[in-house]
Structure 1
Amino acid sequence: MRSAVAGLDLRPALEAVLMVVDEPATEEHLAKILQRPRRAVAVALRELADEYTAQGRGFELRLVAGGWRYYTRPAYAPAVEGFVLDGQHARLTQAALETLAVVAYRQPVSRSRVSAVRGVNCDGVMRTLLQRGLVEEAGAEPETGAILYRTTNYFLERMGLRGLDELPELAPFLPEADAIEAETQEGLPSFDPDAPDAPDARDADDQTEL
């Protein structure tokens, strides 16, 4: 089997493997599987990516979250969405997007901190993001023992990012966000569902996830 794999043409072999991966494949892993030098694999991957772009194919080969994977080309998103969704809603709610953004830019961060920034209880949304694999636990806060959360490699994959350093710059908005957080830390309403005037334990948006 090893000699058979080593004797395959590299580029078609890479295409065949990448067609069946369920997460980005690293150059090291591909080199090991195909029994080729990593440099040769890296060159072949970039040649394939450039070739698909030059040909205007409906898919592209991208380096995302440390590995390579096929993605549909953004220009053809309407066609893909129409086929996959077929009238069903599969996008994150506004509440989930806001919560995910807070985690992405302030990670590692606790649930209470996220709730303070948003001004509402985010427990329901955080559970959904955990279930979707977009965020994960990242230890505990030393001072309070609260669980901290961060985004995952799956988040990078879904966003099409190589790393967190590719997140859009938010400097123009940070002063306003800090002001909102400062105001909400002291005046944050009670999240006790049994309190007379307390809001529901979950946002209305939290009831309808993806």
Structure 2
Amino acid sequence: MSDEERRDSLADQAAAWIPPWERPTPPKPEATETEPEPPADPDLGTGAPLEGPDRTKIDAAGESVGEPEAVPGAVEPARAAEDAVGGDARPGEPEGEGGASGVPGKRGRRRPTPEPEPAPVLDDAELRGALEAILLVVDQPVSELTLAQVLEQSPERIGPMLDEIAAGYTAAGHGFELRRAAGGWRLYTRPEYATYVERFVLEGQSVRLTQAALETLAVIAYKQPVTRSRISAIRGVNCDGVIRTLVSRGLVEECGTEADSGAFLYRTTTMFLEKLGLNSVDDLPPLAPFLPDDVEELADATR
């Protein structure tokens, strides 16, 4: 064959050549019962089907055969996803924070919080002693509810016990007494011994209020809440300085403003009730017996 004929033959072969990846796959012959099994790969041992990681049968051609077998101890995909996001406790599992396994993240019913143990109930003698000890150190009247909370006892027991203590002090003739004042209870010296107490406390110093201060305090006590202009109109003189004195001593305090004029309103304080030994302003004596007979004529004259 000449060189020219050889070149034409090679060109025809190159033009007719098809890459392997573009060649059509020949159909596989159907397997028959008499068809011999494919030879075993010497590197893989016998010709038995292989098993994948999920226990799926794999034949020699690399294709899976049949359904995956269940592996003991393996977690189902659906259950694994439920555990990952925290599913509810399943039937048969204890209902706790972590289900049967106690794994955090699995939602379940929380166990009820144990209730605190109730406080022991004090007998009458111990309750009486505890109340007396507290009343000796208080610097202002203390309410029955506060005493009940401190002692962790029922409020229904505190009031009767305080009444019993007060009656016992009076019957024994002590120089002090227990009485209600400013909405609470406190120990006070008896009025018949006031001169001795005053001599001990004051030591010759006069701390009494002036006549103007007493009059202004009386107007506020009976007319509260009241403005400065109203107090000055009742007394007939300017009361700004006197009111400042009463406020500095803690007997009077501001309690808002008047809606129409915006002026400050004044009222008596808890200290005022405590100093006078009153439980509320309703216990103030009536003014009628102290008014003059011609009060109406005086009122008409001032108009």
TM-score scaled by length of structure 1: 0.80
How many residues matched? 183
Which residue, 283, 287, 291 being the options, matches 1:170?
287
Q: Which residue of 1 aligns with 2:60?
A: none
Distance (whole Å) between structure 2 residues aligned to residue 14 and residue 164 of structure 1 = 27
Alignment-mate amino acid for residue 154 of structure 1: M
Distance (whole Å) between structure 1 residues aligned to residue 297 and residue 268 of structure 2 = 21
| Displacement after TM superposition at 1:120 (Å) | 1.4
Q: Secondary structure at the match of 1:149?
A: strand
Q: Secondary structure at the match of 2:137?
A: coil
| Displacement after TM superposition at 1:176 (Å) | 2.5
Q: Which residue of 2 aligns with 1:192?
A: none
Answering whether residue 132 of structure 2 is matched by residue 15 of structure 1, we say yes
State which structure, 1 or 2, has the greater radius of gyration over its C-alpha atoms: 2
Runs of 4+ in structure 1 over 6 Å off:
2-5
Structure 2 gap ranges (5+): 1-117
Structure 1 gap ranges (5+): 187-210
Q: Which residue of 1 aligns with 2:271?
A: 154
Contact 2:182–2:274 under 8 Å retained in 1: yes
State, as a whole percentage, how many aligned pairs show the same letter. 58
Distance (whole Å) between structure 2 residues aligned to residue 142 and residue 3 of structure 1 = 49
Question: 1:29-48 residue pairs with structure 2 within 5 A?
Answer: 29-48=146-165
Q: Which residue of 2 aligns with 1:27?
A: 144
Q: Which residue of 2 aligns with 1:99?
A: 216
Give 1 or 2: higher helix fraction.
1
Contact 2:119–2:152 under 8 Å retained in 1: no
Contact 1:65–1:156 under 8 Å retained in 2: yes
Q: Which residue of 1 aligns with 2:26?
A: none
Distance (whole Å) between structure 2 residues aligned to residue 33 and residue 139 of structure 1 = 33
Alignment-mate amino acid for residue 295 of structure 2: E
Q: Which residue of 1 aligns with 2:77?
A: none
Higher relative contact order (CA closer than 8 Å, sequence separation 6+): 1
**Residues 179 and 142 (structure 1), Cα distance of their counterparts in 2 relative to 1, 3 Å cut:** farther
Distance (whole Å) between structure 2 residues aligned to residue 180 and residue 131 of structure 1 = 32
TM-score scaled by length of structure 2: 0.56
Q: Which residue of 2 aligns with 1:195?
A: none
Alignment-mate amino acid for residue 176 of structure 1: V
Answering whether residue 232 of structure 2 is matched by residue 121 of structure 1, we say no
